[in-house]
């Protein structure tokens, strides 16, 4: 099924000279022959071609593929993961409402609640969502959304998706999950009863570190609601050109994930029990606190994990990070290139509160390089500690 979706679904090649690659329909607007045609289109702007802020044929191909991959009825593609999160949340709350959100969500999701929606009278609680009873205890009479991120992208805590969906339904809350870490290949939250799935498609879905995009998947009704509110009002669309790049990225998603997961296992096997490494944070590592739940609800676990070094010497940690020069030091993750993100960078910044994460933690994102090449560099870097 995945092959069919990625290679063919949504592509009507007869419409464009049997071109194998879909055309980039670089047009802001679309013309109509009759008033009747225009009237019909306006009655369903989400599925018509009127104006590219709403729908564009190249973007539409991508929407169909992403919806199918997430087992959803429909999908929207947005200008970034942050806009996908914002559109999904903002379209489902109003002044006076309350949101229950996982602890340590993606940083801009956190700011959406604390700095932005706060101004419009929407309140929230961040809860330890590893325990369903804790979530339950924070649901109030005005709660409308349960916001999940499983695993999160820093310390990888997960939530029991089936239990969360059931609890939310009992209390009339909409469930939204950030599924960027897993991709639709490793986890389909809709199958667990979750309502809306969002992605930062900037990460694995595109996978080439060259396009920003976000995705929202859900029922026809929920997608239409988001389309008619935040999406169209705030102009959160993506260009046809970017959509064609993401379609190209998606073609190789399964082989990239397969390769990344295999390399990650080899790299983790090397780091495991290394004398300089205190522990490894990775949902599929047997030492992970929620290992059993991870194995139960995830089909695979990508290439993003953290190591905690035994050393607490900031100079040594600094030397290690500098020596690890085959891993680029950059934000984001999920691209072809391996990355390192030392928590130490978020400590000792004048005027900024230290990160709550330990400074001897380094997050790694494994790319498409050979395992041997990465391990050799890790070996060199660990030897300087
Ligand atoms: C990067 C990221 C986002 C935001 O996506 P952008 O495409 O950068 O806007 C949201 N959630 C997670 C888990 C992310 O890693």
The whole-number average pLDDT for the span 319-341 is: 98
Tens digit of pLDDT for each residue in 75-87?
999 999 999 999 9
pLDDT-derived band of residue 111, with 50, 70 and 90 as boundaries? very high
Name which of 150-154, 202-206, 264-268 the model is least confident about. 150-154
Does 198 have pLDDT greater than 90?
yes
Q: How confident is the model at residue 373 (pLDDT cuts 50, 70, 90)?
A: very high
- For the CA of 214, the closest atom of ligand 1 is 7
- The two three-digit tokens of residue 235, written as one number: 């102009």
C-alpha to C-alpha distances, 284 to 52, 264, 295, nearest whole angstrom = 42, 11, 7
Nearest partner of 218 among 153, 145, 157, 151, judged by Cα: 145
Ligand 1 pocket, mutate which of 82, 83, 154 (most atoms under 8 A from CB)? 82
Distance CA 104, CA 152 (A): 7
Residues 6+ away with beta carbon under 8 Å from 269: none
pLDDT at position 154 is: 85
Q: How many whole angstroms separate alpha carbon 284 and alpha carbon 302?
A: 9
Residue 284's nearest CA partner among 274, 275, 297 is: 297
User: Phi and psi (nearest 5°) for 222?
Assistant: -70, -40
**Ligand 1 pocket check for 82: Cβ under 6 Å:** yes
- For a mutational test of ligand 1's pocket, the pick from 189, 203, 246, 363, i.e. the residue with the most ligand atoms closer than 8 A to its C-beta, is 203
Q: What is residue 192's predicted lDDT score, i.e. its pLDDT? A: 98
Any alpha helices (H) in the chain, and if so which ranges? 2-7, 35-42, 57-69, 81-90, 107-111, 132-138, 161-170, 183-186, 220-226, 232-234, 240-251, 253-271, 291-297, 314-323, 371-383
Per-residue pLDDT reduced to its tens digit, 269-296: 999 989 999 999 999 999 999 999 999 9
- For 98-109, what is the mean pLDDT? 97
> Mean of the pLDDT values across residues 245-251?
98
105 CB within 6 A, ligand 1:
no
Say whether pLDDT at 372 is over 90. Answer: yes
28: which 2 tokens? 């802001």
For the chain, domains (ranges, CATH) are: 2-251 (3.40.640.10), 253-382 (3.90.1150.10)
Could you tell me if the CB of 106 is within 6 A of ligand 1? yes
Mean pLDDT of the chain: 97
How would you classify residue 185: left for phi > 0, otherwise alpha for psi between -120 and 50, otherwise beta?
alpha
Q: Name the β-bridge partners of 78.
A: 214
Give which of 276, 268, 213, 228 is closest to 65, Cα–Cα: 213
Any ligand 1 atom below 6 A from CB of 81? yes
Q: Which atom of ligand 1 is nearest to the CA of 212?
A: 7
Percent of all residues in the chain with a pLDDT value above 70, rounded to a whole number: 100
Q: What's residue 69's pLDDT? A: 98
The answer to whether residues 236 and 83 touch, using CB atoms and an 8 Å cutoff, is yes
| 153 Cα nearest atom in ligand 1 | 13
Bridging pattern class, strands 214-218 and 196-200 = antiparallel
Reported as type and span, the H/E element at residue 145 is: strand 143-149
Residue 164 has pLDDT above 90, yes or no: yes
Angle at the Cα of 289 from the Cα atoms of 283 and 291, rounded to 5 degrees? 45
């Amino acid at each position: 099924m995945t092959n069919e979706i990625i290679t063919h679904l949504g592509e009507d090649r007869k419409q464009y000279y049997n071109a194998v690659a879909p055309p980039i329909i670089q047009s802001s607007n679309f013309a109509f022959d009759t008033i009747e045609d225009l009237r019909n289109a306006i009655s369903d702007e989400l599925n018509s071609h009127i104006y590219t802020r709403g729908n564009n044929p190249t973007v539409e191909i991508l929407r169909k593929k992403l919806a199918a991959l997430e087992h959803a009825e429909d999908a929207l593609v947005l200008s970034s993961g942050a806009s996908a999160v914002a559109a999904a949340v903002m379209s489902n709350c109003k002044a006076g409402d309350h949101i229950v959100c996982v602890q340590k969500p993606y940083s801009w999701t956190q700011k959406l609640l604390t700095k932005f929606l706060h101004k419009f009278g929407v309140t929230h609680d961040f809860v330890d969502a590893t325990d369903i009873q804790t979530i339950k205890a924070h649901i109030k009479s005005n709660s409308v959304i349960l916001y999940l991120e499983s695993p999160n992208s820093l310390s990888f805590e997960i939530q029991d998706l089936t239990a969360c969906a059931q609890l939310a339904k009992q209390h009339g809350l909409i469930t939204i999950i950030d599924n960027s870490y897993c991709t639709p290949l490793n986890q389909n939250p809709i199958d667990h009863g979750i309502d809306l799935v969002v992605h930062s498609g900037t990460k694995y879905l595109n996978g080439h570190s060259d396009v920003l995009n976000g995705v929202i998947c859900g029922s026809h009704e929920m997608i239409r609601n988001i389309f008619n509110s935040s999406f169209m009002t705030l102009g959160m669309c993506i260009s046809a050109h970017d959509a064609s790049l993401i379609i190209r990225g998606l073609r190789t998603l399964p082989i990239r994930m397969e390769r990344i997961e295999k390399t990650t296992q080899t790299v983790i096997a090397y780091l495991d029990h290394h004398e300089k490494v205190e522990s490894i944070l990775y949902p599929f590592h047997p030492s992970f606190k929620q290992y059993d739940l991870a194995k139960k609800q995830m089909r695979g676990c990508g290439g993003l994990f953290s190591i905690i070094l035994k050393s607490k010497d900031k100079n040594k940690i600094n030397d290690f990070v500098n020596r690890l020069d085959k891993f680029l030091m950059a934000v984001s993750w999920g691209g072809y290139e391996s990355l390192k993100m030392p928590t130490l960078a978020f400590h000792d910044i004048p005027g900024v509160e230290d990160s709550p994460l330990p400074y001897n933690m380094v997050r790694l994102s494994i790319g498409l390089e050979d395992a041997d090449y990465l391990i050799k560099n890790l070996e060199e870097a660990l030897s300087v500690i």
